Amino acid sequence: MKWRFDITAKLLAFLLVAGVLPLILLGVSAFEYSKRVIIEQAELENARLLASLSSYLKLYQEQIEDLAANIAGNTSIGATLHHSSAQAANSFDSLETKAQMGYALNNYVRVKGLVSINVFARSGARYQVGESLDVSDVDPALVAKLLHEASLTRTPVLWRGVGDNLNTRSKHAKVINVVRAIQHFSPESGQSDVVGVLVISLNNDIMRGFLDAAPLPDGTQLLELDSHGHIALHSDDQRVGLPMLPAMLDLIRAEPPIRQLVLDGEDMLMRVAPTNQRQSQLVVLSPRRALTEKVNQLALLTFGLVTLALICTLALAWYFARTVVRPIGAVSEGFRQIAFAP
């Protein structure tokens, strides 16, 4: 009986090592390799996505800066700001001037994502076109700050990032503000003086326009962070203007770059790309779960095959023991009985 058990156990061990173990090793190797390849491809796709968004935003930036240059370079606008007077804000001449300025500025409002164009004179006069004629007052200290920043910047146009809308009555509470100083050349003095500041306010339409052409997979987030760590653009409109959590901001700005992290209990892939001219960062976050679902199906298939192989191995061992080992054992037992018979 012991001999019969030994030969059956050896056969079973042989079948497991020769048939089942290689299948297990193959399945585990295929699972890990497939998962690694899919993640690598996803990271490359995220890099291509950020490159496309960067090119898209660069063209948009050039369009906005050309718009700012055209407005700032308009001699009639510069002359109006030069001659504007805060004391005459309620006069008929002032109303006529505002009408002329509004007509001039209306030529520039056909830009995607444009919320409003505001022009402020040093004297305090304000000229605005955009989404609404119902505008709120602007703190003179804020205007002075914008004028100061625009005058000191090393570039013609200053991208200030996302912030409060100058018009508190607007439906867009948070906008991207772009400012540029407006100069006027005086023939009498032969010099150009800063006579006002241009403020262009933009919304999230540019991101929506990009996503219309390149929809994101479920769960993927695409965003732009300004230099202050606030969300300037986002695939979810509700998050525009919100500050990024400090811990998450540290991960985004980490060196060397962090490619994988856990966000709200879910494993995520992250890719970050800087935009030098806008002093911002583009970020894409995609869930690993959505990427590895197909690979998990491979793991289930491998588990099923291993289970089937085990069942077949046990069945084969049982059949061998029943048809070969047991008869041989019976013959051996018969000879043993004859040998020991009196």
d(CA 160, CA 201): 10
pLDDT tens track, the chain, 342 positions? 444 456 667 766 766 676 667 767 766 776 777 778 788 888 999 999 999 999 999 999 999 999 999 888 888 888 888 877 544 544 445 556 666 677 767 777 778 898 988 989 888 888 888 776 667 788 888 889 999 999 888 889 999 999 999 888 888 889 999 999 998 877 766 677 888 999 999 999 999 999 998 899 888 999 999 989 999 999 999 999 999 999 999 999 998 999 999 988 888 999 999 987 678 999 999 998 877 777 667 667 777 777 777 777 777 767 776 676 566 655 555 556 666 655
- DSSP count for the chain of H helices, then E strands: 9, 10
Residue for token pair 């070969």: 324
Which amino acid appears at position 86 of this protein? Answer: A
pTM exceeds 0.85: no
Q: What is the pLDDT of residue 92?
A: 44
Sign of the dihedral through C-alpha 234, 240, 241, 244 = negative
C-alpha torsion 174→179→184→185, nearest 10: -170
**Number of neighbouring beta carbons within 10 Å of residue 9:** 12
Please answer whether residues 287 and 280 qualify as being in contact, where contact means their C-beta atoms are separated by less than 8 angstroms.
no
CA distances for 249 relative to 228, 230, 252, 258, 281, angstroms? 10, 9, 5, 11, 11
d(CA 274, CA 63): 20
Going by C-alpha positions, the residue among 116, 101, 104 that lies closest to residue 166 is 116
**Number of neighbouring beta carbons within 10 Å of residue 248:** 16
Which amino acid appears at position 249 of this protein? Answer: L
Parallel, antiparallel, or unpaired for β 126-130 and 158-164? unpaired
